[in-house]
Amino acid sequence: MKTIHVHGAPSEYILQKGALDLLESKLIERNHKKVLVVRGVKSWEAAKAYWPTMEQIEYDEYIYGGECSFEEIEKVSKLVLSQEYEAIIGVGGGKVLDLVKATGNETHKPIILIPTLASNCAPWTPLSVLYDDAGSFIRYDIYPVSASLVLIEPEILVMAPVDLFVAGIGDTLAKWYEADIQLRAIANKTVPMMIAHYTAEQCKVILVQSAVEAVRAVRNGEVNEEFIKVVETIIMYSGMVGGFGDHFGRVTGAHAIHNGLTMLEETHHALHGSKVAYGILVQLVLENRWNEIQRLVPFYQQLGLPLSLSELGIDGITDEMVNEVAEKATIPEESIHLMSIGEITSTRVRDAILALEKYYKELKI
Ligand SMILES: NC(=O)c1ccc[n+]([C@@H]2O[C@H](COP(=O)([O-])OP(=O)(O)OC[C@H]3O[C@@H](n4cnc5c(N)ncnc54)[C@H](O)[C@@H]3O)[C@@H](O)[C@H]2O)c1
Ligand SMILES: [Zn+2]
CATH number of the domain where residue 96 is located: 3.40.50.1970
In a domain, 224, yes or no: yes
Please tell me the pTM assigned to this model.
0.96
pLDDT tens, position by position, 46-73: 999 999 999 999 999 999 999 999 999 9
pLDDT tens, position by position, 123-155: 999 999 999 887 778 889 999 999 999 999 999
Q: Check whether residue 112 and residue 243 sit in a common domain.
A: no
- Rounded to the nearest angstrom, the distance between the alpha carbon of 116 and the centre of ligand 1 is 9
Please report the pLDDT score of residue 134 as a whole number. Answer: 79
- Rounded to the nearest angstrom, the distance between the alpha carbon of 365 and the centre of ligand 2 is 32
Q: Which of 49-53, 210-214, 232-236, 340-344 has the lowest mean pLDDT?
A: 340-344
Please provide residue 91's backbone torsions phi and psi, each rounded to the nearest 5 degrees.
-125, 105
List, in sequence order, every beta strand (DSSP E) within the chain.
Answer: 13-15, 34-39, 58-63, 87-92, 111-115, 127-131, 137-142, 149-152
Which residues on adjacent β-strands are paired with residue 62? 38
Q: Check whether residue 222 and residue 93 sit in a common domain.
A: no
In a domain, 2, yes or no: no
Q: Which of 140, 36, 57, 58 is nearest to 98 (CA)?
A: 140
Residues spanned by the domain of 71: 13-158
Q: Check whether residue 340 and residue 278 sit in a common domain.
A: yes
What is the number of the ligand 1 atom nearest to the C-alpha of 272? 15
In a domain, 6, yes or no: no
Q: Check whether residue 197 and residue 145 sit in a common domain.
A: no
Please provide residue 362's backbone torsions phi and psi, each rounded to the nearest 5 degrees.
-65, -35
Predicted ipTM of the assembly: 0.99
Q: Check whether residue 330 and residue 185 sit in a common domain.
A: yes
92 lines ligand 1 (CB under 6 A): yes
Q: Check whether residue 279 and residue 134 sit in a common domain.
A: no
Number of separate domains in the chain:
2
Q: Check whether residue 345 and residue 196 sit in a common domain.
A: yes
Tell the residue nearest (CA) to atom 10 of ligand 1: 94
Instruction: Calculate mean pLDDT across residues 62-90.
Output: 97
Q: Check whether residue 125 and residue 203 sit in a common domain.
A: no
- Rounded to the nearest angstrom, the distance between the alpha carbon of 117 and the centre of ligand 2 is 15
Q: Check whether residue 107 and residue 172 sit in a common domain.
A: no
Name the closest ligand to CA 100: 1
In a domain, 5, yes or no: no
Which of these three, 97, 127, 158, is where a domain ends?
A: 158
In a domain, 7, yes or no: no
pLDDT tens, position by position, 259-291: 999 888 888 889 999 999 999 999 999 999 999
Q: Check whether residue 131 and residue 191 sit in a common domain.
A: no
3-state secondary structure at position 128: strand
pLDDT tens, position by position, 165-174: 999 999 999 9
116 lines ligand 1 (CB under 6 A): yes
Q: Check whether residue 298 and residue 310 sit in a common domain.
A: yes
The rounded distance, in Å, linking the Cα atoms of 119 and 125 is 13
- If phi > 0 it is left, if psi is from -120 to 50 it is alpha, else beta; for residue 344 that is beta
What is the number of the ligand 1 atom nearest to the C-alpha of 128? 1
Please provide residue 60's backbone torsions phi and psi, each rounded to the nearest 5 degrees.
-120, 165
Enzyme catalytic residues: 171, 255, 258, 272
CATH number of the domain where residue 350 is located: 1.20.1090.10
In a domain, 19, yes or no: yes
Q: Check whether residue 141 and residue 177 sit in a common domain.
A: no
